[in-house]
Amino acid sequence: MSGNIELLEDTLARTREEGRAALIAYLPAGFPTVDGSIEAIKAVLDAGADIVEVGLPHSDPVLDGPVIQTADDIALRGGLKIADVLRTVREAHQATGKPVLVMTYWNPVDRYGVDRFAQELADAGGAGCILPDLPVQEADPWREHAAKHGLATVFVVAPSSRDARLAEITAAGSGFVYAASLMGVTGTRDSVGEQARALVERTRAAGPLPVCVGIGVSDAAQAAEVAEFADGVIVGSAFVKRLLDAPDAAAGLDAVRALTAELAGGVRRRTG
């Protein structure tokens, strides 16, 4: 089975044709349990998310804020394995037909085996990988195997990225570019700010890939603000916090469904 980069590209093209940004949800595999994470991911996709990022929990998550670190710790203490992450991708994709990516740090992929991981992710129906700590100049081994298996390679850019670096990343990446709207770790913010808009404009000028913005979006108003200038709005910590705060699994699913519906309305609403 080949990967689903075409499904990812088609989804982003379709949302653009609809005159809106894509809603991209992030949830870590294995939280609160493997089965619970699969149900939560299916819930957000069914409730209106266009794309989902499945987090591969890591013991040293340098980009992730305290909310996601807490969820990752729960997943790792529960004994999560890469096989469970791949099962999560497979079941979420098969149940919804929507693009599912894995967001992971490089070390687990390298230790698992680059070609093995790419092959198994493609076999699970995965659309690709977001690799926040893999420098583009060191990415050729991954990119080679990803291309062979039909997977997108999504790089992360930040406000500190220079124009030459943005050009290098947009040339090497595929699927979309993940624009981290603020310096620092993930987490909800009171405002997303003008840094994000400027970064999207610079990244678009550097190459043709869609640009999706993450880090800081937590409600419909912020989603609408980012949707004005980005191809996709990425939301992670707000979903994880809903699950962390829920008194039980059923309430958690209701909470993420409600947030998804709110955010889906936001990406369809123009603020300007």
Catalytic (active-site) positions: 53, 64
Tell me the DSSP string of the chain: ----HHHHHHHHHHHHHTTSPEEEEEEETTSS-HHHHHHHHHHHHHTT-SEEEEE---SS-TT--HHHHHHHHHHHHTT--HHHHHHHHHHHHHHH---EEEE--HHHHHHH-HHHHHHHHHHTT--EEE-TT--GGG-HHHHHHHHHTT-EEE-EE-TT--HHHHHHHHHH--S-EEEE-SSS-----S---HHHHHHHHHHHHH-SS-EEEESS--SHHHHHHHHTT-SEEEE-HHHHHHHHH-SSHHHHHHHHHHHHHHHHHHHTS---
Give burial (CB, 10 Å; 0-12/13-18/19+) of 203.
buried
**Spatial distance between the Cα atoms of 244 and 234, rounded to a whole number of angstroms:** 19
Single out the residue of 214, 246, 262, 260 nearest to residue 36, CA to CA: 246
53 beta partners: 26, 101
